[in-house]
Amino acid sequence: MTASPETPQVSATQPLGGALTRWFTVQVRRRLLLAIAASFALPYLIGEFFKQFVQPGLHNDAVRGQMLIDFIVIGAILFSLTLVLTWLIGSWITAVMKGPRVEADSFPVDAPRLRSDNDDRG
């Protein structure tokens, strides 16, 4: 018996049927790479921009001000990486809930009803 092309075969090497890896497509990998790069680059660049305005003579304690900006940048990077991780978990859950088939079961109204002779409902 051969399987249809939509239904992937479960092998012994993939105990969960590829549920942990099949959803991680090339498009998801590209978006993940872009999201991680943006999570690091954007807060760092914004922090470096703001540190230009914290200089001795213009700021009472320039070193402390720059260190405060560094802490804010580190917090923003960790926060954005947490958002990326949450997005990945949500994508995985969605892929697992959908399963290997994209089409859904037919809604009972869509399927024709067959009447039985013994059916006494009107």
* Tens digit of each residue's pLDDT (9 = 90 or more) over 84-100: 999 999 988 888 887 76
Can you give the pLDDT at residue 119?
62
Domain boundaries, the chain: 26-98
Decide if pLDDT at 77 tops 90.
yes
- Global pTM reads 0.65
Can you give the pLDDT at residue 40?
96
Q: CA 72, CA 4: separation in Å to the nearest integer?
A: 53
Can you give the pLDDT at residue 27?
86
Q: CA 33, CA 16: separation in Å to the nearest integer?
A: 25
Can you give the pLDDT at residue 74?
97
115 pLDDT band, cuts 50/70/90, is: low
Can you give the pLDDT at residue 55?
83
Tokens, residue 32: 């993940």
CB distance 62 to 56 below 8 Å: yes
Q: CA 101, CA 6: separation in Å to the nearest integer?
A: 6
Q: CA 36, CA 81: separation in Å to the nearest integer?
A: 7
Q: Which among 107, 47, 106 is positioned nearest to 71, based on CA atoms?
A: 47
Q: What is the dihedral of CA 72, 75, 76, 82, to 10 degrees?
A: -170
Can you give the pLDDT at residue 26?
85
Which has the minimum average pLDDT: 23-27, 49-53, 118-122? 118-122
**pLDDT tens, 50-71?**
999 888 887 788 889 999 999 9
Q: How many CA atoms lie within 13 A of 58 on its CB side?
A: 8
